[in-house]
Structure formats: structure tokens, C-alpha cells
A and B are shown apart, each in its own frame.
Chain A
Amino acid sequence: MAQSLDRLKESPSQTAGPYVHIGLTPNFCGIGGVYATDLGATMVNDKTKGERIGLKIRVFDGTGSPLRDALIEIWQADADGLYNSPAEMRGAADPNFFGWGRCPTDMETGVCAFETIKPGRVPLADGRLMAPHITLWIVARGINLGLHTRLYFSDEEKANAEDPILARIEHRIRVPTLIAERQGDTYIFDVHLQGEKETVFFDS
């Protein structure tokens, strides 16, 4: 016998279930008066630096139907590519941009709409730049462990072509599953949980 490593195991995940909105966005599902506002509902203010953009995200199940009971959180850098986080050692991020948002899917249309700004590029430790991207975390009934993926931008072709994470995708036909299409000031991003167009999800 050898010594013990004394490490703990991560708490196992369990599905967020059909009523995740009671806990995370209670005002959205009619539980008023407990919190003044739902956390993560507003990402930008008048002073936030950067290009204002909208995101319209939907999540589709294996039959091609949009999920109407999911919840999405996003996390992104500011316009200069800095995260508003203690782990950001390169400088101070825009104090008017928190960088994190939370949105339930619309109970009828399944659309998750975020108002945010286009993030700048963030480097790896070796200096290589990643393309502008937004990190997504998706939970819902039927999802046993929250899904991580990224949203990249269709009008950043050159940056996307040199992005070290996109470069790791073996089957190149799947790269477009991570790229949101620009329509005016809004990016449309369809996440597919299964099927031919299944989104590339991350184990990171």
C-alpha cells in the first residue's frame, strides 16, 4: 500500500430539472418579491466600451425541437480581451462590463436573447491569440452534466482560421457548429444536442 493522495472527488452533477428557473431566474417564472432582479439579466450599461451586439441562441434536441425549459449562462472578455476576474493578470477589465450573463430560453420560442458587446481576443499562455469568442454553459431537464461550448463570430474569418481551439477539431465539417451567423447587429447561434449538426461540446 502507498500513501493516500487525500484528494476529494468533485460533487457529482445532477440535472437542473424542469424548474431550474425557480432557483436561477425566479422573477422570470413569476416568483416576484424575493430578489429585486434576476441575476445576469443585464450585461451592459451606457458606459460599457465596445460594439453592442445581440445574441439569439436556441438549443435543439434530437428531434430538432427547440428546448423551452433550458437556461444558458455566458462568460466573455471585454472589448479589449480582458476578463473581469481576479484570475485576469494582464490588466484591469472595463469596470462597466461584468462579462457574465444568464438567460432562460423563452417558454414559447426557445430563444435566449442576450444584449452584450463583442469581446476582444484573448491569448493563450504562449501568446497565441484566440479568436473572439463567448463561453456558453447550458443546463436543462434531461442534461445530466452542464454542457460547455463556445460561440465564435461569422465575421471574424481570419481570426477564426488561426484560433488554436477551433484548430483542434478533428472533423473540420463540425467547425461551423461553433460559429454564430451575423444578421445586422445580432448573431444567431443554434446549438444542436444531437444529430448531423451536433454542436462541438467541450471537456475542458
Chain B
Amino acid sequence: MSSDPGSNRTPETGAFFQRDRTWHPPALTPGYKSSVLRSPQKALLSFDNTLSEISGPVFGHAMLGELDNDLIHNFARPGESAIGERIIVHGRVLDERGVGVSGVLVEFWQANAGGRYRHKKDGYLAPLDPNFGGCGRTITGEGGFYAFRTVKPGPYPWPNGPNDWRPAHIHFSVFGHGFAQRLITQMYFEGDPLIWKCPIVRGIADRAAIEALTAILDTQATIPMDALAYKFDIVLRGRRSSLFENRLEGN
């Protein structure tokens, strides 16, 4: 995993903007029962980023396999493909300054079209698709652009309340340039009525924040007679400029 040969810009070394913890779901969201015993209760320790938070590894495109961003085919038998509504998911990874971030490792996983995960702990009635594994990855290019191909995941019931259903969603892990930017989130689909009923989604207080996780149908990016397209942008923490850093205060 060498550094990206396409990038010769001066690396940025500024600290990241403070995280807005009122925008993220709080640690304890009792409607999502698993959070009750897994949420820290004491105050977090705040300090300005040191190099340990500012720095991060570089993932080169060389690590990617040809089908890593094609969930329709990366687990399928030769000549076969996953069953379901074929979609392209595309967008940009930006930072809070609006700058596209290249070289970001984006990993995604999801249930199949019936709402079933390929996992020994998922016993949902919907069948496994022998041609669908459910994982993929890519690295953003210049401007932070990324895209992958998959099938639209189905909604599924889950053990929380007696009758809770997850809206259709794709899980995203996003690895920016600094370890403090590390983020996992979920992408929802425009128009899904289950979004507003989901206890995990409802851990987010601000309606605008939920909408920021909702991908929009993009009919300009479809492949005619093949796949629909959804656009989903992801925003990572922005970096302060180090131009006027107060050296006496240190980091």
C-alpha cells in the first residue's frame, strides 16, 4: 500500500474542526436498545488534535480488485449476477470546507434484495442470494468522486421493539486522511417511509441531518435498460488552516 502516485499536493497538517456532537446521534438513544449498555456515561476528554489524530495511513488504488466496486458480480458465479433492483451509487467525499477529498477508502456492506445478510447471526426468513456477498469498496479519485454498482437492499425486521423494521440502507465506512476523521454511517433511499420510523435513524435529532444521509434518485446517472442511480455525498471533518497556528500553545 504505497502513497497515491497521482497526488503531489502538499499534505495538509492542520487540526480538524471540532465535532458537532449535537448533530450526531448521542451515545445513549434508549429507543435503540443496544445503546443502553454500550454508551459511555462520563464526560469525554477534550483536547486539540495531536499528530496522532491529524495523521493517517494512505491506501493506494493498487490494493483494489477489479470487481471490488461491483457487488452485483464480486461474489457471483461466472456468468451469473445478484438478484434485485440494479443500482449505481455515486457521489463525492467532501470535507466541511466543501473540498473534495481524494484517496479516501470507502467500504460498504448491505443486505441482499430480500433484506437478508450473509452472516451466521442473521436468520431472517428471506433467502440468501447465492450470487450476492454484500461487501464492496473503492477509493475516491480526484475531486473526491466515487461510484459502485449493487442491488438495492431490502428493508428487514430486527429485534428491538416487537415490530421494528430497518429502512433499506447501505452501511458506509469512510477513511479520510486523518484518523480523527474516521466515520461509519448509513445511506438511506429517498422516499422510504420506514426512515422516519426507525429507532436508529431517530437517534439523530435534526431532520436536516437525517436528510443528509438520504440518497437522491439521479435519473441522469442511470444506465438505460440496466441500472437506476442514486447520488450520495459524504462529508468528513474539515481541517483548520495551519497558517496562523499559535505555536506557543502547541497542539
- Chain A residues within 8 Å of B, Cβ to Cβ: 6-24, 26, 29-31, 33-36, 39, 61-63, 67, 69, 73, 75, 77, 83-89, 98-100, 122-128, 130, 133, 135, 137, 139-148, 150, 165, 168-169, 174, 193-194, 198-204
How many positions in chain B have a CB within 8 Å of any CB in the partner chain? 97
Cβ-defined contact, B47 with A23, below 8 A: no
B196 contacts partner chain A, Cβ-Cβ < 8 Å:
no
Cβ-defined contact, A29 with B120, below 8 A: yes
Closest CB in chain A relative to B203 CB, distance in Å: 6
A14, A21, A124, A146, most chain B CB atoms within 10 A: A14
A125-B250, A193-B39 given; A31·B118 CB < 8 A: yes
A13-B184, A13-B185, A128-B250 given; A144·B57 CB < 8 A: no
* Nearest B-chain residue to A26, judged by Cβ: B135
* Nearest B-chain residue to A59, judged by Cβ: B38
Interface secondary structure of B, over-half rule: loop
Q: Given the complex, which residues of A lie within 8 Å of B236, measured CB to CB?
A: 10-11
Contacting B26 at CB < 8 Å: which of A26, A144, A193? A144
B27, B52, B94, B213, most chain A CB atoms within 10 A: B52
Cβ-defined contact, B45 with A100, below 8 A: no
* Nearest B-chain residue to A84, judged by Cβ: B57
B178 contacts partner chain A, Cβ-Cβ < 8 Å:
yes
Cβ-defined contact, A11 with B234, below 8 A: yes
A6-B98, A202-B44, A203-B46 given; A15·B135 CB < 8 A: no
A11, A67, A122, A201, most chain B CB atoms within 10 A: A11
A-B CB proximity, top 10 nearest = A23-B109, A126-B250, A142-B34, A142-B38, A86-B11, A85-B55, A62-B37, A203-B44, A14-B186, A144-B25
Contacting B179 at CB < 8 Å: which of A7, A62, A135, A142? A135
Cβ-defined contact, A7 with B96, below 8 A: yes
* Nearest A-chain residue to B108, judged by Cβ: A23
Contacting B134 at CB < 8 Å: which of A15, A18, A31? A31
Cβ-defined contact, A23 with B171, below 8 A: yes
B183 contacts partner chain A, Cβ-Cβ < 8 Å:
yes
Closest CB in chain A relative to B76 CB, distance in Å: 10
Cβ-defined contact, B183 with A10, below 8 A: yes
Cβ-defined contact, B75 with A34, below 8 A: yes
Cβ-defined contact, A147 with B40, below 8 A: yes
In Å, the complex CA distance between A100 and B24 comes to 26
Cβ-defined contact, B248 with A165, below 8 A: no
In Å, the complex CA distance between A133 and B52 comes to 9
Closest CB in chain B relative to A107 CB, distance in Å: 9
